[in-house]
Structure 1
Amino acid sequence: MYKNQLQELAQRSCFSLPSYVCTREGPDHAPRFKATVTFNGETFHGPTCCTTLRQAEHAAAEVALARLSTRGPSTYLTARVLDETGVYKNLLQETAHRAGLKLPVYTTVRSGPGHSPVFASSVELAGLSFAGDAARTKKQAEKNAAMTAWSALKQSKQLTTALPIRNTTGSW
Structure 2
Amino acid sequence: MPEKYFEIRWHGRAGQGAKSASQFLTEAAEESGKYSTSFPEYGAERTGAPMKAFNRIADVPIRLRSDIENPDVVCVIDDTLLKNPEITSGLSEDKLLLVNTTRSIEEVRKLTKFKGKIGVVPATEIALEEIGRPIPNTTMIGALIRATDVVPMDAVKQKIRAAFARKFSESVVQANIRALERGYQEVKFSE
> Which category of TM-score, normalised to the shorter sequence, fits these structures?
0.3 to 0.5
Query: Which protein shows a greater Rg?
Result: 1
State TM-score, norm by structure 2: 0.31
For normalisation by structure 1, the TM-score amounts to 0.33
Higher RCO (C-alpha 8 Å, min separation 6): 2
